[in-house]
Amino acid sequence: MSTFAKWAPAVLALAVVAGPGVWRFSRHVITIAHEAGHALVALLTGRRLEGIKLNSDTSGVTVSRGRPTGPAVVLMYFAGYVTPSLLGLGAAALVTAGHVRPLLWATVALLAGVLVMIRNAFGVLSVLLTGGAMFAVSWYATAEWQGAFALFVTWFLLLGGVRPVGELQRRRARGRAPRSDADQLARITGVPGLVWVLLFAAVTIGTLLLGGRLLLPL
């Protein structure tokens, strides 16, 4: 793959994440990953997962039942903001190893799992559109286009995982996010919400740097 072919998806993903108008729509994909992270950790830690809702304003909520405090709840709340970036890092490893089609099919499978847990019409539509795009590329596109699309998705997850953390802190500073993941973690642990936001930022920025190191030509 040429240097241009490696850079073009990164530039396009940056434009999608940085552009206010485009981001308003593309952020729904990040929300799907965010809520999927909550749901997966809830299941892995033995909590009872009741469902996921995705809203048209790009917010979402994952409902689970279990102990209101403890390590499982902390892990569940922490997972949301870091999941898109961690998925991006995993995707970067698969892309650089040449496993493009398995990456696309794994993404379709993950979205199918999320779809089962969606509990509102807009959420169903969001997941179906995202999964449909992934399936169409994996089934109909040429290998070259699959590779370019996989790179774009990878960069989008890596870059798109960072921006919501900044948005979260801006909302918190204005008093508009009293029940955010960071504030829920502060309530459970006694550690200030700002510390949790900084931890979100450290993970998302760190994975962006690691993923970029894997993807970009030296």
Q: How many domains does the chain divide into?
A: 1
Query: Which domain does 98 fall in, by range?
Result: 3-212
Q: Choose among 156, 167, 153: nearest CA to 200.
A: 167
Q: Read off the pLDDT of residues 180-191 as tens digits, 9 standing for 90 and up.
A: 999 999 999 999
- Range 162-176 burial, b when 16+ CB lie within 10 A, else e: bbbbeebbeebeeee
The reply to whether 59 falls in a domain is yes
The reply to whether 39 falls in a domain is yes
Has residue 31 got a pLDDT over 90? yes
The reply to whether 217 falls in a domain is no
- Tokens at 131, concatenated: 């999964």
Q: Choose among 17, 6, 28: nearest CA to 156.
A: 17
The reply to whether 218 falls in a domain is no
- What share of residues in the chain are helix, strand, coil (percent, to 5)? 75, 5, 15
Q: Read off the pLDDT of residues 86-96 as tens digits, 9 standing for 90 and up.
A: 999 999 999 99
Distance (Å, whole) CA 16 – CA 212: 17
The reply to whether 148 falls in a domain is yes
118: β partners:
52
The reply to whether 104 falls in a domain is yes
Q: Read off the pLDDT of residues 49-84 as tens digits, 9 standing for 90 and up.
A: 999 999 999 999 999 999 888 999 999 999 999 999
In which band, very low, low, confident or very high, does the pLDDT at 218 lie, cut at 50, 70 and 90?
very low
The reply to whether 193 falls in a domain is yes
The reply to whether 45 falls in a domain is yes
- Tokens at 55, concatenated: 């809203």
